[in-house]
């Protein structure tokens, strides 16, 4: 019998020898596809974030544009073009349409949403009007003394108007059933103070919000301008302090009881404001889209007429301009005196008018 030769015998496949050779390429291809999908998802998320940021930026820019209505006393200045042009001491000043003004209020209340009744909803203990030139990035800030005597709309317990009364501007916040109504009432008094120019928007921060803001931006370092104490903390004149949380809260609220105590406290608050904005701008420089998370974090402690789009636009202007180093404070001179019940500040009319020119107008060549 003839045996078949080895050459003609059927060759059985060896799976152990062949499968690694055939399976390796598909596995690599699958891994490549997975990595490609992950990369596409990451890029898509980045694109969405960046696109959202730019959409918000342009929406905010458009919505904050406004035209002034100025009615200064005839003895101080003249008005042309419905307030777009003012004439003072023989020189013309043109309204700067790039200015966005935000009225910041720090109120002595922990829960903004809680209504204690008209006239009982706290006071605007701290008031700053920040005017940002969105073209140049320059910022001018007008600290408004809480004791400034201005016309305030009083609201009765049933929600009806009880008339307009000359009183401390800080009391205007008390007349509102909601934080929004209270802020609007303060804004109206500021508009009267500034000869008819209304703030572009308002932003209210409650007592708890100071600590939360501090958590977001980190510690700041300041030098105290007087001996003052508050909430168990003692601050010494000329000494440098690193502030955060409760200590920052105490420093901002500390005030002595003499006639000029509020003015000295405003000096401390100005330094704190500069430091906080510088710290926040540094964070946003690293990640401009972080404004959304900051906005969401601060919402329970704030009330603002600003939309997220407007905040995004303003934050972008601040970051690109190195805002913290470009603060310029505008002061209003006047008379501070002890009234029948409280300290009263009466702004000097000429000084106030010149401040309005500095904040909102540009001299024509």
The answer as to whether 37 is a domain residue is no
Encode pLDDT of 196-232 as tens digits: 899 988 989 887 888 888 888 889 999 999 999 988 9
| pLDDT digits 0-9 by tens, 95-153 | 998 888 889 998 888 788 888 877 788 899 889 998 888 788 788 889 999 999 999 99
In a domain, 156, yes or no: yes
Indicate whether 10 belongs to any domain.
no
User: What CATH number is attached to the domain comprising 154?
Assistant: 3.40.630.190
| Residue 101, φ and ψ in degrees, nearest 5 | -110, 130
* Residue 231 covered by a domain: yes
Q: Mind giving me the DSSP string for 275-306?
A: HHHHHHHHHHHH-TTHHHHHHHHHGGGEEES-
Q: How many domains does the chain have?
A: 1
What is the domain extent for residue 302?
A: 64-363
Task: Give the pLDDT score at 44.
Answer: 42
Listed in sequence order, the residues at least 6 apart from 17 whose beta carbon sits closer than 8 Å to its beta carbon are: none
Q: What is the pLDDT of residues 242-269, one digit of tens each?
A: 999 889 988 988 888 888 888 899 889 8
pLDDT band at 63 (very low <50, low <70, confident <90, very high): low
| 5 domain-assigned | no
């Amino acid at each position: 019998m003839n045996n078949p030769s080895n050459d003609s015998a059927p060759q059985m496949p060896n799976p152990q020898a062949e499968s690694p050779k055939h399976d390796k390429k598909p596995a690599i291809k699958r891994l490549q596809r997975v990595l490609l999908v992950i990369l596409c998802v990451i890029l898509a998320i980045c694109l969405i974030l960046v696109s959202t940021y730019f959409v918000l930026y342009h929406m905010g820019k458009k919505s904050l544009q406004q035209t002034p209505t100025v009615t200064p006393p005839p003895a101080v200045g003249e008005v042309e073009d419905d307030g777009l042009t003012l004439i003072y001491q023989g020189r013309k000043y043109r309204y700067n349409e790039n200015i966005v003004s935000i009225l910041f209020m720090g109120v002595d209340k922990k829960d903004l949403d809680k209504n204690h009744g008209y006239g009982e909803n706290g006071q605007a203990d701290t008031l700053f009007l920040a005017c940002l030139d969105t073209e140049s990035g320059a910022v001018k800030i007008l600290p408004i003394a809480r004791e400034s005597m201005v016309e305030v709309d009083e609201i009765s317990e049933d929600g009806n108007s009880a008339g307009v009364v000359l009183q401390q501007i800080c009391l205007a916040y008390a007349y509102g059933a909601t934080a929004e109504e209270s802020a609007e009432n303060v804004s109206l008094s500021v508009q009267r103070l500034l000869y008819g120019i209304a703030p572009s928007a308002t932003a209210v921060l409650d007592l708890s919000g100071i600590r939360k803001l501090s958590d977001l931006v980190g510690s700041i370092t300041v030098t105290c301008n007087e001996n003052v104490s508050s909430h168990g903390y003692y601050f010494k004149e000329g000494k440098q302090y690193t502030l955060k949380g409760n200590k920052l809260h105490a420093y901002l609220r500390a005030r002595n009881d003499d006639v000029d105590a509020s003015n000295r406290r405003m000096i401390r608050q100005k330094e704190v404001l500069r430091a906080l904005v510088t710290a926040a701008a540094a964070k946003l420089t690293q990640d401009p889209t972080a404004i959304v998370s900051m906005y969401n974090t601060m919402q329970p402690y704030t009330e603002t007429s600003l939309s997220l789009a407007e905040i995004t636009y303003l934050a972008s202007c601040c970051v690109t301009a190195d805002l913290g180093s470009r603060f310029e404070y505008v002061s209003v001179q006047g008379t501070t005196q002890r009234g029948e019940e409280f300290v009263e500040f009466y702004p000097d009319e000429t000084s106030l008018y010149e401040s309005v020119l500095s904040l909102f107008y540009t001299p024509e060549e």
